[in-house]
Amino acid sequence: MAVAQPVGVYEREDLLTGCQAVAEGIRLANVDVIAAYPIRPYTEVMDAISKIIADGKLDAEYIVADSEHSQFEIVKHAASVGARAFAGSSGTGWMYGFEALVVTATDRLPVLFLVGNRALDDPGAFGVEHNDALAIRDMGWLLCWVATAQEALEHVLLGYRIAEDKRVMMPMALAMDGAFLTHSQHIVRIPSQEAVNRFLPPFDLAERRLHPDNPVSIAPQVNEDWVMEIRRQNWEAARRARGVITAAYEEFNQVFGPRYKPPYYFEEFQTEDAEVVLVGMGTVAMPARTAVRRLREQGHRVGYVNLRWFRPFPTLELRDCLRRFRAVGVIDRDFAHGAPDDGGVLLHEVRSCLYPLRERPAVVNFITGLGGRDVSIQDAIRMYEITQEAARKDRLDGFVTWVGVRE
């Protein structure tokens, strides 16, 4: 993005993978406690962080845990005494620690996790699928996907800022596609510490911190007497998060220059006069945008919407965006076997979001790129063609196509 930047905001440029960019974000966020456990592909972030700590560039406790469950519990309890904490995982490792992920959210502890998306076993596959991160979608987490290493670094800062806001206090999962982003190198502009300090205040757990001077009991047994009220507080926090997210991006733009455009939750590409769009998350944006350019050369009015925030889901903003089009093709890099219309997870979120409209675009669904299979430009063009056909024929909602599968 060729825009003027305020002087002194960025200190240097470097060639970094997505994971390395997150590690730079962790350094700049002055994180206090980091717990590691290896699993591909997220694990490179811990390789990078351990080197940063070994080189004296970050003062943090760095613990190599015995399992993901312990890893996640360590950072949860580090946060409970008031420390800013970081962990992460991928695929089955993420699922191994799932119990700890749930309580981190219900304890309202704003840690940040990197999810390097990976297919769930069995059979083994290192490549990207979104089912790992999506598993926490109902648990009270903030969940967003980034598509470039620059966004990854910046969303570490945005993530802590939003998660630690007193109106939110929810853990933040920063998801990125395994291999395609975790391990692909990009030129990244690294902000200066001084600019980061202006944007990201120190973490303050205030009256909830566990310390002898503040003798509180956290998470006692409540049963039916209080669980519903506590769930309600979680629900309200997730609702309030929407306003906090918008404000955080606005302030980010003020400090670092105009990096992000409203409504921030998603990015639109050549949608102004589009008749049909695809909606996807993560690095599928690359082939989709290239397909848009090629199809536009042939006169097709197509665009692409890259959804960044999945939780909280940008209901009103996405509804306002997608209502302009005749047909919407939803790309799922996940599976939801036996779900309504046999579609993927994102299909149901998008369709549900559009349902209140009297005039709805036709919505079709693509299951693609599972287990790290490449989604080619040709695949994206095919998805556009099917979506255009849906617009012409007014085909039934929920039509599902597997793209790139041997049948």
Partner 1 sequence: MSTAEKVLVYDRIKGVKQIPLEEFYTSGHRTCQGCESATVMRQFIKAAGPRTVVAGSTGCMYVANTSYMTTPWIVPWMHTQLGAGGSSAVGMAAGLRALMRKNRIPQEKINVISFCGDLGGGDMGLSGISGALQTDYDLLIIMYDNESAANTDIQATGLTTWGAQTTFSPVGRVRRIMHRRWKKNVAAMLAVGHPNCRYVATACATFPPLDFLNKVRKALSVGGPTFIHTYDPCPKGWDFHPRYSHELGELGVRSGLLPLYEIIDGQVVYTYDARKTAKGRIPVREYLSRQGRFAHLTEEDIAYIQRMVDEMWDEWEVPGVAPFRGNLKVPA
Complex with partner 1: residue 172 or 350, whichever CB lies closer: 172
In terms of Cβ atoms closer than 10 Å to its own Cβ (0-12, 13-18, 19+), residue 393 is: exposed
Q: Is 76 in the site for partner 1 (CB under 8 A)?
A: yes
Complex with partner 1: residue 220 or 356, whichever CB lies closer: 220
- Do the beta carbons of residue 171 and residue 239 sit within 8 Å? no
Nearest approach in angstroms of CB 36 to partner 1 is 12
The residue from 6, 13, 57, 67 that contacts partner 1 (CB under 8 A) is 67
- Do the beta carbons of residue 183 and residue 18 sit within 8 Å? yes
CA distance 229 to 173: 25
Torsion, CA 333, CA 339, CA 341, CA 342, rounded to 10: 50
The residue from 73, 164, 317, 349 that contacts partner 1 (CB under 8 A) is 73
The residue from 78, 158, 350, 391 that contacts partner 1 (CB under 8 A) is 78
The residue from 21, 23, 75, 390 that contacts partner 1 (CB under 8 A) is 75
- Do the beta carbons of residue 281 and residue 346 sit within 8 Å? yes
Q: Which amino acid is at 310?
A: F
**Residues contacting residue 139 through CB under 8 Å, at least 6 positions apart:** 101, 102, 105, 106
- Which single residue is written with the structure tokens 């397909």? 291
The 125-164 site mask, x for binding partner 1 (CB under 8 A), equals ----------------------------------------
The residue from 61, 251, 275, 342 that contacts partner 1 (CB under 8 A) is 61
Neighbours of 118 (CB within 10 A): 32
Complex with partner 1: residue 108 or 308, whichever CB lies closer: 108
Number of residues near partner 1 (by CB under 8 A): 43
Complex with partner 1: residue 103 or 125, whichever CB lies closer: 103
Nearest approach in angstroms of CB 251 to partner 1 is 23
The 217-256 site mask, x for binding partner 1 (CB under 8 A), equals xxxxxx--xx------------------------------
Q: Which 87-106 residues touch partner 1, going by CB under 8 A?
A: 99-100, 103
Complex with partner 1: residue 202 or 262, whichever CB lies closer: 202
Q: Which amino acid is at 73?
A: E
Complex with partner 1: residue 203 or 313, whichever CB lies closer: 203
Q: Which 318-357 residues touch partner 1, going by CB under 8 A?
A: none
- Do the beta carbons of residue 333 and residue 130 sit within 8 Å? yes
Q: Is 112 in the site for partner 1 (CB under 8 A)?
A: no
The residue from 21, 28, 79, 362 that contacts partner 1 (CB under 8 A) is 79
The residue from 9, 65, 95, 377 that contacts partner 1 (CB under 8 A) is 65
Nearest approach in angstroms of CB 120 to partner 1 is 21
Pairing type for strands 185-191 and 266-269 reads unpaired
CA max distance for the chain? 69
Secondary element (H or E) of residue 148: none
CA distance 197 to 211: 26
CA distance 110 to 158: 12
Q: Is 376 in the site for partner 1 (CB under 8 A)?
A: no
Complex with partner 1: residue 216 or 396, whichever CB lies closer: 216
Which region, left, alpha or beta, applies to residue 280 given φ > 0 means left and ψ of -120 to 50 means alpha?
A: beta
Secondary element (H or E) of residue 287: helix 285-297
Q: 363 in helix, strand or coil?
A: strand
Residue 293 φ then ψ, to 5°: -60, -45
User: Which one of the spans 43-51, 66-74, 133-141, 251-259 is the region binding partner 1 (CB under 8 A)?
Assistant: 66-74
Give residues in contact with partner 1 (CB under 8 A). Answer: 32-33, 35, 59-61, 63, 65-67, 69-71, 73-83, 85, 99-100, 103, 202, 210-212, 214-222, 225-226
